Structure 1
Amino acid sequence: MEAKKGYKAIAKNLPMSPTKIRPIADNIRRKPYSEAVAILENLPNKGAKLLKKVVLSAAANALHQNNMLDEDALYIKELFVDNGPIQKRMWPRSRGRADRLLKRSSHISVVVDELGSTGE
């Protein structure tokens, strides 16, 4: 029988490059939920705001699915920032030439779990 994997939240097609979000995600990975939210609230980046939304959603999923859980008992078990679809646009240049403008997007997956769980 497979062990329980935690509570998950996913945000797809976020309009920001994953390379800008990943350094922020590295700051909160494997941290307690309350500490992770405090870190994200104090960072000025757009990526911190996007990550905070997904982390709050994962915690809300955990608390809704299991009424016995406490917010202080949660931690960020897994956090992935993956590439989403890339929109290709034309960028006009001089002498009738053009460059490609790549508008990147991201998929963020967060799994929160209880601190004392034996899911690992």
Structure 2
Amino acid sequence: MGARKKISADRRKEARKTMYFAKMNNVPTSPRKMRYVADMIRGMEVNKALGVLKFSSKEAAQRVEKLLRSAIANWEQKNERKAETGELYVTKIFVDGGAMLKRMRPAPQGRAYRIRKRSNHVTLFVDSKNTNEDQN
């Protein structure tokens, strides 16, 4: 690895130590459906977001709720204290497309239609409100 790349890699690694996130890979839901759920909680306070996800009728909401609880636990682990009400917020959440399973469905006159079973990767960042104000 070159010197410039090593310096930038070290800088990224140091910045990552102050970020609190959770990541879920290869979720067997289409990215479009998952983005709808992600848009519901983006920027929300954590306890309110958990309530929204708990009572949402979307199937993807259960998976995002589990991911959010994991991100909260990661924050608590790194800060060595419990999160208080109104302290943590969902700062960023994004959904990327994952691997696609390609299947064939029989069609009329000896043809076949392709079915694409999509998956996605979800990354969720949480942070406290006062940390965000210090940076700005």
Q: TM-score w.r.t. structure 1 length? A: 0.92
- How far residue 5 of structure 1 moved from its aligned partner, in angstroms, is 4.8
Counterpart AA for 2:95 = V
Number of corresponding residues: 120
Report the structure number with the largest CA radius of gyration.
2
Q: What is the percentage of aligned positions where both structures have the same residue? A: 38
The alpha-carbon distance between structure 1 residues 112 and 44, as it changes in their structure 2 partners (threshold 3 A), is same
Where relative contact order (Cα < 8 A, 6+ residues apart) is larger, the structure is 1
Q: Structure 1 stretch 64-73 or stretch 48-57: which is displaced more? A: 64-73
Q: Which residue of 1 aligns with 2:30?
A: 17
The alpha-carbon distance between structure 1 residues 119 and 91, as it changes in their structure 2 partners (threshold 3 A), is farther
From 105, 111, 120, the counterpart of 2:119: 105
Counterpart AA for 1:90 = M
Given the alignment of the two structures, is residue 74 of structure 1 paired with residue 88 of structure 2, yes or no?
yes
Give me the whole-angstrom Cα distance separating, in 1, the residues matched to 2:80 and 2:26: 31
Give me the whole-angstrom Cα distance separating, in 1, the residues matched to 2:135 and 2:72: 17
- Structure 1 contact 25–79 (Cα < 8 Å) conserved: yes
- How far residue 6 of structure 1 moved from its aligned partner, in angstroms, is 2.6
- Structure 1 contact 5–119 (Cα < 8 Å) conserved: no
Q: CA RMSD in A?
A: 1.7
Q: TM-score w.r.t. structure 2 length? A: 0.81
Q: Which residue of 2 aligns with 1:85?
A: 99
Name structure 2 gaps, 5 residues minimum: 1-10
From 24, 29, 42, the counterpart of 2:55: 42
Give me the whole-angstrom Cα distance separating, in 2, the residues matched to 1:8 and 1:49: 18
Name structure 1 gaps, 5 residues minimum: none
